[in-house]
Amino acid sequence: MYTTALSAVRRRWHIGIPIVAIAFLASALSIGSSNYTFGFFVEPLEADFGWSRTAIGGALSFAAIGSLTTPILGRIMDTKGAKPVLVFSLTVLAISFLVRPLMTELWHFYALSVVQFIFFAGANTLPAGRLVGIWFPHKRGRVMGIVMMGNNFGGLTISLMTGYFIAIGGWASAYVATGVLALGITLLAFFIVHERIAADQSKGVNLNKELPGFSVREALRTNTFYIMTVALAFGSFTYSILLPHISVHLLDEGTSNKAMVTLASLLAAFGMGGKLAFGYLADRYSARQAMILSLAGQIVFITLIAYFPTGNQIWIVVPLFGFFFGAFGVLGTLLVQECFGLRYFGSISGISGIIGIIPTVTGPLIAGTSSDTLGSYAPAFVFTGFTFVLAIGLLGILKHPDLKNAKN
């Protein structure tokens, strides 16, 4: 009996590793082609079309649309599985890049950005969370940490690829290269990703019928859902205030461009380590406790960055901030599964994420106002630390519902 169980675990790992590797690549592509490389296209588009930088940057505001469509994608994933959502989202993402060389008007750029962000979660957090939960239920924290390291990996590799193609062929060739890469990952997802486990795959059982978890209606009836949702929203200011403006803050305070490039690389590298380390802590203790530690660490190091932005200590402070910051996305996914199970993870996660529109829209405004009226991003960073304190307080009173009482 023990041998049979061990064999089943080994088979699950053998099949699951290539599947979550696709999730890793999809995360690398979706994050790398948006968060990390957008700035590469600003000057070329400005030069070719005469669009202002404010107008070009406005395309990023459409990321908020993803918060509205995530519940729909999550619901489809819960009923149809991760593969259809992942393949379709990657296909649409590829098309949105391949068509961009045909742009002639600013509204074309905006329309394609809308298409890109509508299906953003379907190429990133939603399928990754479900696939890791299915194939690695007892090591999901560590495996999820590794998969979400794809975000940082994409930041490094997609940035290099984009810079290379812009240098040799212009912005259009860079978009085409990104679209072709997306199509390649789409094909891999189509042929490799599935949710069936058996010695004979043709006789596999659809795992969705066996997954534990609360229904959406059951989740919405708990106080836990609302406490968790608000806590995650407070924590999400790290993406709209801290991450986009740390580099600008340090440059304003006298950091050289050369040093900033190195610091940004260290931030990304330590972020990868944080994902893995906090994933392990989530397995060992809980996602809730690991997230409290992640937020507390961010408070400490962003305060140091805000008010002590010069000196040799910055070479320690910035990487350590990256270590604690990098874990947040991983822990958010794990927290939803920890509280409400995996069966309706997509729907519950999507509904919870709608409130993410608030930090997405207001975060850049808060940061801009801080810089323009107060002369520094430091007050905005302190505001973010205050939201983290509130999030920690909410996580401290968060109680997990008993998954054994969920209707399966």
- Cβ atoms of 305 and 246 within 8 Å: the answer is yes
Residues 133-174: tens digit of each pLDDT:
888 877 888 888 888 888 888 877 887 888 888 888 889 999
CATH number for the segment(s) 216-405: 1.20.1250.20
Q: At what angle do helices 65-80 and 125-135 cross, to 10 degrees?
A: 30
Residues 83-127: tens digit of each pLDDT:
999 999 999 999 999 999 999 999 999 999 899 888 888 888 888
Secondary-structure class of domain 2-210 per CATH = mainly alpha
Burial class (CB in 10 A: 0-12, 13-18, 19+), 23: buried
Position 105 scores a pLDDT of 92
In angstroms and rounded to an integer, the radius of gyration of the C-alpha atoms of the chain is 21
Position 205 scores a pLDDT of 45
Neighbours of 386 (CB within 10 A): 13
Measure the CA–CA gap between 391 and 233, rounded to whole angstroms.
8
Report the run of H or E that residue 241 belongs to, with start and end. none
Residue 344, φ and ψ in degrees, nearest 5: -115, 35
Residues whose CB is less than 8 angstroms from the CB of residue 361 and which lie 6 or more positions away in sequence, other chains included: 61, 64
Measure the CA–CA gap between 320 and 330, rounded to whole angstroms.
17
Of the chain, the end-to-end C-alpha distance in Å amounts to 26
Model pTM above 0.85: no
Domain with CATH 1.20.1250.20 in the chain: 2-210, 216-405
Burial pattern 134-160, b for ≥16 Cβ within 10 A else e, equals: bbbeebbbbbbbbbbbbbbbbbbbbbe
Q: Which residues of the chain have pLDDT under 50?
A: 1-6, 198-206
Of 234, 223, 281, 239, the closest CA to residue 389 belongs to 234
Neighbours of 366 (CB within 10 A): 19
Burial class (CB in 10 A: 0-12, 13-18, 19+), 5: exposed
Position 290 scores a pLDDT of 95
Position 7 scores a pLDDT of 55
Of 47, 43, 39, the closest CA to residue 260 belongs to 39
Position 202 scores a pLDDT of 44
Measure the CA–CA gap between 179 and 185, rounded to whole angstroms.
10
Encoded tokens for 167:
């240098």
Position 311 scores a pLDDT of 84
Measure the CA–CA gap between 283 and 303, rounded to whole angstroms.
29
Position 226 scores a pLDDT of 95
CA-to-CA dists, residue 336 to 9, 177, 387, angstroms: 24, 35, 20
Output the DSSP codes for 19-81.
Answer: HHHHHHHHHHHHHIIIIITGGGGHHHHHHHH---HHHHHGGGGGGGHHHHHHHHHHHHHHHH-
Identify the DSSP state of 139: S
